[in-house]
Structures are given as structure tokens and as C-alpha cells.
Chain A
């Protein structure tokens, strides 16, 4: 387990990894929340009678 002993600079190493994890988690959360928000807005608009020229549902991504 020698590889896991981080020595006197452990704070710098751990802070770096935690920071990367936080920023990546924020990116994932932002994209996931944005996806749900756009889908909800599309559903609301379609419920309000707005229809695409193709006639297909705007939330259909399959």
C-alpha cells in the first residue's frame, strides 16, 4: 500500500482530485437538469397546441 501513502503534500493531491470530481459532477448535473427543462418546455408547448411542421412530437428523440 506504499503507493497510497501521499506524504507531506497529501492536501494538494486530495484537493486536486476532489476538485475534478466536483466540477465533473456539476457538468453532469447541469446537462441532466437542462435536458429535463427542455423536455418539460416542449411538452408544455405541445400541450398548448404548438405543433412542429412534421407533425412529430418535439420530445421524440428515438
Chain B
């Protein structure tokens, strides 16, 4: 099955119906393994047991940026290739991305309080992630404010591509400016600096969160396709009866 085949919403729904149970089971299994490994991970010599917050904070933060990346590709799909499912994918991803960004911010604050002595600091990393969260909320507002889905899709796609400028700023903020936030310790040119005892549970949790996102995203896309069918049928009903919908 190619990307072109998936342009057909009915084929996409059929594939999703077959995939979702397996994805949900794989997600639940990986989350269980990840949580067990996180619980059994040793304390860090500097941070003590608070290092366990890393196993949920870092995957949330990765996903907050990854989801915007997915939405940026979908935005290109809307504006350049006019793929029928591109704006469905973008719209479905936005609330999920907002939720993971919220989690990254709050778990980061809860980790920061015992380690830095403060819940919040207006430094480059924290502020750029807060801006990402606000951009997610802005996109959701655009989708809700513009009634015509195709017009909303184009406006949201442009906003998404403009907002993608924030992704490298978030990633490199810890290198470009002095921040309280620690520099990258996994995705580095010289390889991860984390000890294996922390790296393994972190990677398992990152994979679990990624699978969770894939499961939620496919489910939300399915819902969005059904919502558009509802809209189409309402139009048909209105045309038949010659009255406006409620």
C-alpha cells in the first residue's frame, strides 16, 4: 500500500481499524516495561531519585517537537501536494502535541524545583518551549475559529510552517545561550553521555511515548474523517430538505 493509496479516506480507515488494536497492545506493553525499568533505575549521584522524572519529561519534550515536525510535513502536504489527508493529520495532531508540550513544561518545573531551587526561569529553553505550547493553542484556535475546513487548513498550514522556525531554536537554545537547563545528553554528535542504567529506560520510554502518539494520532485522524462525513451528510440532508442545519 502506497502513500497515494492512503489518500483515499476509506482505505485509510480500513487500515487504521486493522492497525489500532496491535498498536494499542504494543504501546501498553512498552509503557509497562518502561515504567518497570524506570522504577528500578538507580539514583543519580547528583540528582538522587529525581532523575526518575527524566524518564517522562524527556520523552514528552521530544514528542512536543516531533509532533510539530509531523504537522509541518502535513502542512507541506496541504499547501504543496494537496494530499486529502494532510490537513486531517495536522488537525488531529495539534491537541496531542499541546498535551505533550504541557507535560514537558510541568514535569520540567517539578524537576526544576528540587534541582534548581525554582519552578520557572525565563531562560531560552523554557521560554521557547512555552512559546511552542502557545503556538499549539493558537493553531487549535484557528481550526475552531474558521468554519470552512479547507480555508482553516491553509491558514493553519502557513502558521505551522512559520512556527517550525521555533524547533531549531528550542533544540539549540542550550548551546546558543546561557540557560539553567542542562545541554543535550542523548542526541549529541559524540554520542549519549548518559550511563546505560539511565539511557536504556529512557529510550524504552521514548519508544513507548512515540507508539502512544502514533496510536492516539491515528485514532484522532479516524475521528476527524468521520466528523467530515457527518458534515457532508448534513449538507446532503440540508440540500434535500431545503433548510439550514441547526
- Give A residues with C-beta under 8 Å from B: 2-10, 12-13, 15-17, 19-20, 23-24, 26-28, 30-32, 34-35, 38-39, 41-42, 45-46, 48-52, 56, 58-59, 61-62
Check B234 against A50 for contact (C-beta < 8 Å).
Answer: yes
Contact with A along B99-120 (1 / 0, CB 8 A): 1001100110011011000000
Check A12 against B216 for contact (C-beta < 8 Å).
Answer: no
Residues of A contacting B60 with CB < 8 Å? 20
Check A9 against B49 for contact (C-beta < 8 Å).
Answer: yes
| Least Cβ–Cβ distance between B182 and chain A, in angstroms | 17
Residues of B contacting A6 with CB < 8 Å? 49, 52
Check A27 against B107 for contact (C-beta < 8 Å).
Answer: no
Check A52 against B229 for contact (C-beta < 8 Å).
Answer: yes
A-facing residues in B152-170 (Cβ within 8 Å): none
Q: How far is the CA of A9 from the CA of B112 in the complex (A)?
A: 11
How many B residues are at the interface, by size bracket? 35 or more
Asked whether B94 is an interface residue with its Cβ less than 8 Å from the other chain, the reply is no
Asked whether B29 is an interface residue with its Cβ less than 8 Å from the other chain, the reply is no
Check A13 against B227 for contact (C-beta < 8 Å).
Answer: no
11 further interface pairs, Cβ-Cβ under 8 Å (given A50-B240, A58-B233): A5-B49, A6-B49, A9-B49, A12-B114, A16-B107, A19-B107, A30-B95, A35-B226, A38-B223, A61-B17, A61-B222
Return the contact of B103 from the options A23, A50, A59 (Cβ within 8 A).
A23
Asked whether B39 is an interface residue with its Cβ less than 8 Å from the other chain, the reply is yes
A51-B102 contact, Cβ under 8 Å, with A9-B114, A34-B223: no
Q: Is the interface of B mostly helix, strand, loop or mixed?
A: helix
Q: How far is the CA of A10 from the CA of B233 in the complex (A)?
A: 53
A7-B14 contact, Cβ under 8 Å, with A51-B236, A58-B226: no
Check A58 against B229 for contact (C-beta < 8 Å).
Answer: yes
Asked whether B13 is an interface residue with its Cβ less than 8 Å from the other chain, the reply is yes
Check A46 against B233 for contact (C-beta < 8 Å).
Answer: yes
A3-B96 contact, Cβ under 8 Å, with A16-B110, A31-B220, A50-B240: no
Return the contact of B50 from the options A13, A31, A32 (Cβ within 8 A).
A13
Residues of A contacting B53 with CB < 8 Å? 12-13, 16
Residues of A contacting B232 with CB < 8 Å? 52
Check A50 against B237 for contact (C-beta < 8 Å).
Answer: yes
Cβ-closest chain B residue relative to A33: B223
| Least Cβ–Cβ distance between A3 and chain B, in angstroms | 5
Cβ-closest chain A residue relative to B212: A24
Q: How far is the CA of A50 from the CA of B107 in the complex (A)?
A: 48
From B40-48, B71-79, B137-145, B171-179, the one touching the partner chain is B40-48
Asked whether B125 is an interface residue with its Cβ less than 8 Å from the other chain, the reply is no
Asked whether B219 is an interface residue with its Cβ less than 8 Å from the other chain, the reply is yes
